[in-house]
């Protein structure tokens, strides 16, 4: 994403935050705020999940929650394509982020969503952490740790997308 586009998005978010609910709506291109990877041909949804869990474990990244939303929706009598959210966390890095700025708690834990599109294709999505890394005021050591979390989450997504066990 070009730096000018990034700055425009950040100023728009700041404007909405500072102006309150009575402000004119600001258009945000949601696609610019996420990282999205397709599951490779032949990788099942369950294989992707298993691969992500194994890769997270190899990085000592804790799987702290699984939200199996499509199963919940079906139990409520409605139909749904696959839609699950997996939440990962490095508790010590999370603690450092929140101690640096309490607002980081709103971004915890890190989420990777597994979603089936209207054609039956599987996708992995997570928040684009580069936006936070580029705009946050962090000390050098904490920024390095946050960058490591981004890299580990990206590796977890790649493992899931490729079915790499």
Domains in the chain: ranges and CATH:
31-162 (3.30.310.70)
> Residue 150: how many CB atoms within 10 A of its CB?
19
In the DSSP assignment, the letter for residue 120 is S
| Structural contact between residues 55 and 159, judged by C-beta atoms closer than 8 angstroms | yes
Tell me the three-class secondary structure of 15-54, residue by residue: HHHHHCCCCCCCCCCHHHHEEEEECCCCCCHHHHHHHHHH
Low-confidence ranges of the chain (pLDDT < 50): 1-12, 14-19
The 10 Å Cβ neighbour count of residue 151 is 12
Using CA atoms, how far apart are residues 44 and 56, in angstroms rounded to an integer? 18
Q: What is the DSSP code (8-state) at residue 163?
A: T
**pLDDT on residue 13:** 52
Q: How far apart are CA 54 and CA 154, in angstroms?
A: 14
- What are the pLDDT digits (tens) for 80-104? 999 999 999 999 999 998 998 898 8
User: How confident is the model at residue 8, as a pLDDT?
Assistant: 46
């Amino acid at each position: 994403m070009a730096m000018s586009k990034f700055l425009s998005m950040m100023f728009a978010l700041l404007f909405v935050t500072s102006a309150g609910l009575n402000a004119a709506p600001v258009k945000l291109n949601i696609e610019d705020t996420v990282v999205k990877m397709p599951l490779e041909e032949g990788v099942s949804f369950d294989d992707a999940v298993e691969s992500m869990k194994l890769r997270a474990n190899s990085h000592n990244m804790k799987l702290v929650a699984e939200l199996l939303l499509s199963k919940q929706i079906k139990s409520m009598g409605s139909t749904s394509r696959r839609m699950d959210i997996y939440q990962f966390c490095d508790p010590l890095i999370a603690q450092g982020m929140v101690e640096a700025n309490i607002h980081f708690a709103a971004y915890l834990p890190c989420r990777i969503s597994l979603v089936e599109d209207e054609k039956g294709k599987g996708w992995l999505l997570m928040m684009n952490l580069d936006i936070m890394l580029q705009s946050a005021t962090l000390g050098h050591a904490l920024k390095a740790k946050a960058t490591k979390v981004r890299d580990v989450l990206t590796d977890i997504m790649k493992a899931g997308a490729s079915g790499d066990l």
